[in-house]
Amino acid sequence: MILWIGLFALGAAILYRRTLVQEWNHFRSHRREWLYDKWKNWGEPFVVAAVLAVLIRTFLLGPYKIPTGSMIPTFMIGDRIFVDKVSYRLHEPERGDIIVFKYPMDTKKDFVKRLIGLPGEEIEIRDGKVFVGGKSLEEPVFTKSYYYNVKDSPYGKVDQKIKVPADSFFVLGDNSAHSSDSRSWGFVPQKNVVGKAFLIWWPFNRVKMVK
């Protein structure tokens, strides 16, 4: 690898020898002018691009990598997704959205789950289905998953009715048998929500919008 890099550098030096000599002479004779020219043509555009990239990632669009299988088959391990950080500033999160949020037990970690329960609702997991206010969720996005009760889980027991607190959400992984979610650690404060997952952008054969 080092040899190839050296050969490439040597080839570039030979190919652009005249340009390099001119640049060197310009630098020696008009150093301040040369530096200003390089700043205007290279430094300034780079700084602007870097600032824009940081602003976009912080406030508009965030890339995330899926590290576990808790959302299979919606997301596979290693999928890379884009998260919309703007929409929830315009409207409230909706049931069925796949949200990225700061894990309540350790806000340095980001989790991705499906939003099931909204503030003030009563949730129950029974016979593989989710019931909200006594009515089962029959939309395809919910019926494609079998939701398991967990005997030793604080919020996932059989015949347990769970009241979602104000300004909080109840979330579950699509791969219910292998998901650490609200059944285990409780509710997601609304302030912890980062945004809505909307696109798988890598690997190439899985590029698609997220429903």
Active site residues: 70, 113
List helix spans (H) across the chain: 2-15, 17-29, 31-38, 44-55, 87-90, 140-143, 182-185
Instruction: Name the token pair of 32.
Output: 């301040």
Could you give the CA distance from residue 77 to residue 85 in angstroms, rounded to a whole number? 22
Structure tokens at 158: 């059989």
Give the CA distances from residue 123 to residues 12, 59, 142, in Å, rounded to whole numbers and listed in that order. 65, 32, 14
- Report the distance separating Cα 188 and Cα 60, nearest Å: 21
